[in-house]
Amino acid sequence: MNQPTASQALDNPVTRDAMASFSKATDPRLAEVMGLLVKHLHAFVDESKLSKAEWLKGLEILTAAAQITDHERNEFSLFSDIMGISSMVDVVSQPPGGTPSSVLGPFHNHDSLIKPNGSDLTDGQPGERVWLHGRVLDVHHNPIPHAQIDFWQNADNGLYPAQDSAQDPQNLRCKIQCDAQGGFELLTIRPHPYTVPTDGPVGALLAASNRNIWRPAHFHIIVSAPGYVGLVTELFPSGSAYIDNDTVFGVRPGLIVDVKDCHNEDVAKQFGLTLPFKEVAFDFSLVQQSSTT
């Protein structure tokens, strides 16, 4: 038997009235979004024949999410991530033609220090050295001069500074201004797979669903330049565990990078490395703002 669709739910007067109740919002987009949200949530209740006990359980889960959420921890954002909603918003809002976007995650910090292009972020810590470099281009492959890179990743123990008081809060993160040819480079370490926080209601749901709690290794990068649509994305070293099973659905084929052996003597000298060392090369492509508006 066919399941009822969202539009069939409109036959129900409760759905019709609840949708219509938002139609007079001053902001027409609010009216549209709330109308559609009500329509699809009602269709979900109808199709799943949600019981009162299940509805109450859902409210309990949301209450637990609110109780664990503070200015450093947002369980609602994590729910969005593990249900694939954050990634779905990326998919539908991404302007065509540029580098794919990916989830921001909870560990971005606005106050990363601006460091010189070519900085060594490793500061004597353990971890396999990786020379990460590339260019920021427009969709026609022209360099975007002086674009900004905002970079962060986890340490060799798999933890971000916010999870590990032994790390300097600025560890393995920085902002860098690209050169006039859009070029950037930094020395970092190989990132590691990482579990999403599991001590709240999201963790309980993942466990009850027999779901993986891991993300594959990744570098986080935000690329921005005046006149271009900002890009929030990640790079995933190929071969990382969980690359085919990211619990927040952030991996895109265009964001998987090879970590290669590099024999460049000048770079080895610049960073005090022995040959061969590891390199990741990646060019980002930004979409012009005017072409999307």
Q: Which residue is nearest to ligand BEZ (CB)?
A: 105
Strands 260-262 and 119-120: unpaired
Q: Which listed option, ligand BEZ, Fe ion, none, makes contact with residue 78 (CB within 5 to 8 Å by class)?
A: ligand BEZ
| Nearer to Fe ion among residue 131 and residue 194 (C-beta) | 194
Looking only at the bridges linking them, the beta strands covering 129-138 and 183-189 are antiparallel
Residue 282 touches which member of Fe ion, ligand BEZ, none, C-beta under 5-8 Å by kind: none
- Report the C-alpha gap between 87 and 97 in whole angstroms: 17
Residue nearest to Fe ion (CB): 105
Type of residue at 91:
V
Closest CA to 74 of 33, 82, 215: 82
Residue 288 C-beta: closest distance to Fe ion, Å: 28
For the chain, the farthest-separated pair of C-alpha atoms sits apart, in whole angstroms, at 73
Nearer to Fe ion, 105 or 201 (CB): 105
Q: Which residues fall within 8 angstroms of residue 239, CB to CB, at 6 or more apart?
A: none
Token pair for residue 134?
């590339």
Which of Fe ion, ligand BEZ, none is residue 106 near (CB under 5 to 8 Å by kind)?
Answer: ligand BEZ
Residue ranges in contact with Fe ion by CB under 5 A = 105
- Smallest separation, CB 285 to Fe ion (Å): 22
The interface partner of residue 196, options being Fe ion, ligand BEZ, none and the CB cut-off 5 to 8 Å by kind, is: ligand BEZ
- Shortest Cβ 85–Fe ion spacing (Å): 17
Least distance between ligand BEZ and beta carbon 129 (Å): 22
**Sheet containing strand 114-115, strands side by side:** 114-115, 173-177, 148-152, 219-224, 231-237, 256-257
Binding region for ligand BEZ (CB under 6 A)? 78, 81, 103, 105-107, 194, 196, 215, 248
